Amino acid sequence: MGEAIQVSPTLEPTVAGESPFSDGVGVVVFSILLATALFVLIGLEGVTVQWDGRLLSTAARSHDFRPG
């Protein structure tokens, strides 16, 4: 791999905090894209998107759900 280098103590937490920030941005972008795709497929009436802390779940309120 690469060679280890010494960095200043103030830079270390900044670099270490970048990865969780990137992961969080990825989750938010994915959630927005998923909600948009469901809106296009089902329409505004039939989509409820919920975040329950573990997974993104959707529920269609339409009695006859058939994506077209």
> Has residue 3 been placed in a domain?
no
Range of 22's domain? 11-59
pLDDT > 70? residue 51: no
> Has residue 35 been placed in a domain?
yes
Q: Which of 12-16, 42-46, 47-51, 59-63 has the highest mean pLDDT?
A: 12-16
> Has residue 52 been placed in a domain?
yes
> Has residue 2 been placed in a domain?
no
Q: What DSSP designation does 10 have? A: T
pTM listed for this prediction: 0.46
Q: What DSSP designation does 6 have? A: -
Total domains in the chain come to: 1
> Has residue 39 been placed in a domain?
yes
User: Contact 56/49 with Cβ under 8 angstroms?
Assistant: yes
| Measured CA distances, 40 to 8, 21, 30 (Å) | 49, 29, 15
Q: From CA 32, how far away is CA 35, in angstroms rounded?
A: 5
Report which of 21, 36, 41 is spatially closest to residue 56, judged by C-alpha positions.
Answer: 36
